[in-house]
Amino acid sequence: MYTINHVHEEILPRAHQTSAKYPVRVSEFDAVGLTPQFVEGIRAPFVQESRVKYAVALREIIPISWNKTFFVIGEIQSVLLDTSLIKADGFLELEKAGSLCSLGLDGYYSTTRLARYAYAKPDLSVKQMD
């Protein structure tokens, strides 16, 4: 089990710093000033300051030989978030959560929803929602 924690602007510099290669015995939480949050039944800690958090079960690790990396496949087991971030139809409002996007190792962007569209079907025209 591992966790994925959305990053927002208030924790961005500290979250970025967790990508540094700390010695094995050094806690990234302690090193960057974030708070571990433990939840019963999940060994890996969440980031307490994060507003959207996933507990993920590891399903497969696929080696990518040409760049010596790994493709990690996981299955979301649970989601922790403030329910005010969820619309009546179950849509998660990332913009309201302040969730950020990353590009490469060093670029970060805010999220702005441009549109929502109904489920696409070959015989239907594109229909914008709310």
| CATH code, domain carrying 84 | 2.30.110.10
Residue 44 is predicted with a pLDDT of 97
**Over the chain, what HEC string results?**
CEEEECCCHHHHHHHHHCCCCCCCCCCHHHHHCCCEEEECCEEEEEECCCCEEEEEEEEEEEEECCCCEEEEEEEEEEEEECHHHECCCCCECHHHHCCEEEECCCEEEECCCCCEECCCCCCCCCCEEC
| Residues of the chain scoring pLDDT < 70 | none
Residue 130 is predicted with a pLDDT of 78
Look at the chain and report how many structural domains it folds into: 1
Residue 37 is predicted with a pLDDT of 98
Residue 7 is predicted with a pLDDT of 98
pTM confidence score: 0.88
Mean pLDDT of the chain: 96
Residue 6 is predicted with a pLDDT of 98
Domain region containing 92:
2-129
